[in-house]
Amino acid sequence: MIVILRPDATEANVQHIIERAGKLGLKANISRGVERTVIGFIGPEDALRVIPLEVFPGVDQVLQVLAPYKLVSREFKSENTVIKLPYNVTVGGKKIAVMAGPCSIENYKGMAAIAKLVKVLGADILRGGAFKPRTSPYDFQGLGEEGLKILQAVGKEVGICTISEVMDTRQVELVAKYVDILQIGARNMQNFSLLKEVGSTKKPVMLKRGMSATVKEWLMSAEYLLANGNFDVMLCERGIRTFETATRNTLDINAVAVAKRLSHLPVVVDPSHGTGSWEYVAAGARAGVAAGCDALMVEVHDNPEEALSDGAQSLMPDKFQELMASAKRVAKAVDRDI
């Protein structure tokens, strides 16, 4: 249930409503818009019927949220969420943010070189994995904390935001110490213990869609993050598993438009994992921009042949430069910037 307050509602009105509902075991989540404040209540619906919220001072409307994902829905918050990051970077506004970098952090020298290249070419956020969830236990698993230290040092040296994946509840505090954005990978989309732990932090988080997840399941997983107090959440479409074998996954462009209609959260498109081949990454990126995404995540490596993971889908710097140029033209056509 959501309570929409009148434009002239005072802070005292807001606190009075929250206090009364809190006595019934209801958790309040406040969304402050330009003109109005909206309070979303999570808890037993029967408890909400005990108090006539409609008659409280400052209340304009009381509405039932029909979507199962309450806080994630447009019913709770009609305007787009804009996530603010260091270096004046935002995700969710008119400007489409770009995340770029190697799949795995390999060493300081290589990471610094790639970081400088992608920033010059227009990237806002540096990606790099320190803990790698690999299908085979014999593949490279990442450098762990040493990789995170490299990512943080390079980010500060270059002046660029950073993002890296957290795979386990025991890693949340560690990863949050080093990066600006926590990434929850596709394999962990429904790791509810991890979602709760990350939700309890105030660190921005990017939630990747599971490889066989529906949009509803994706949004329900995001609800775990918001319900635990973290509203700086972005959704990432990274391709789903279908019967098609020509590409690694099927990049679901439909999901971008659907998620933008159903939710106020920013949507990221990852055409690298979505296609699995560098030849198709630029096309996937352009499609994501045209569909309305708020950010792109692209794997870039200066020597893909020697990459420790995902070399086949990594762009050389010159190909990344071409992608940025073409994506900017598409962004301009849909009244956005990159």
Inside any domain, residue 253: yes
Buried b (16+ CB within 10 A) or exposed e, 255-292: bbebbbebbbbbbbbbbbbbbbebebbbebbbbbbbbb
Sequence-ordered alpha helix ranges (H) in the chain: 11-22, 45-48, 108-120, 145-158, 172-178, 192-199, 215-227, 253-262, 271-275, 278-291, 317-333
List pLDDT tens digits, range 94-135. 999 999 999 999 999 999 999 999 999 999 999 999 987 666
Residues 53 and 186 both lie in one domain: no
Residues 142 and 277 both lie in one domain: yes
Q: Say yes or no to pLDDT of 140 above 90.
A: no
The model's confidence at residue 2, banded by pLDDT at 50, 70 and 90, is confident
Query: Between these two residues, 265 and 6, which has the higher pLDDT value?
Result: 265
DSSP label at residue 263: B
Residues 131 and 55 both lie in one domain: no
Residues 135 and 59 both lie in one domain: no
Q: What is the mean pLDDT of the chain?
A: 92
Answer whether 125's CB lies under 8 Å from 161's CB.
Answer: yes
The model's confidence at residue 48, banded by pLDDT at 50, 70 and 90, is low
d(C-alpha 331, C-alpha 236), whole Å: 18
| First-residue to last-residue Cα distance in the chain | 37
Q: Say yes or no to pLDDT of 52 above 80.
A: no
Inside any domain, residue 78: no
Inside any domain, residue 211: yes
Q: Which of 52-56, 147-151, 186-190, 297-301 has the lowest mean pLDDT?
A: 52-56
What's the domain range around 316? 83-333
List pLDDT tens digits, range 141-152. 778 999 999 999
Nearest residue to 117 via CA among 275, 250, 302, 296: 302
Residue 47: give its domain's CATH number.
3.30.70.1140
d(C-alpha 214, C-alpha 5), whole Å: 34
Domain count, the chain: 2
| pLDDT of res. 33 | 72
Residues 118 and 257 both lie in one domain: yes
Residues 30 and 89 both lie in one domain: no
Structure tokens at 37: 């404040």
List pLDDT tens digits, range 32-41. 776 778 888 8
Residues 51 and 139 both lie in one domain: no
